Amino acid sequence: MKPTFIEFLTEISKFKEWELRQELRGEDEMNRYQQRQRDQADRMAREERRRYPGHKRRQYLNVPYAEKEEAKRQGARWDPEKKQWYMVVFSNQKWAPAGYEHWWQ
């Protein structure tokens, strides 16, 4: 027996409704996935702040011209405005890392 036109339209509307639910479910899953990614990034940032408290700052170094290549090799950077070598440290760091002791101000 052939379905009537009304039954046919009813089946189509049921199918469209089902497709829409699937699409919305997929969007919900994507939103949950993105939220999990954001939460994980937040947890990692909190862990990083817990392990390394304080803000980064520049610690300027007294590097003689003759030792500039050694300073470069050890990771020091040049500040062209102040014309001085520096290294990035956390604001609560009070000691010189190994290799920087004789340049530390």
Q: Measured between alpha carbons, how far is 25 from 59 in angstroms, rounded to an integer?
A: 52
Give the pLDDT confidence of 20-65 residue by residue, as tens digits: 888 778 777 877 888 888 888 888 877 877 776 666 778 888 899 9
Q: Which of 88, 78, 91 is nearest to 52 (CA)?
A: 91
Quote the tokens at residue 60. 């300027």
Predicted pLDDT at 5: 75
Domain ranges of the chain: 1-51, 53-105
Predicted pLDDT at 91: 64
Q: Measured between alpha carbons, how far is 87 from 57 in angstroms, rounded to an integer?
A: 8
Stretch 69-88: mean pLDDT = 88
Predicted pLDDT at 47: 81
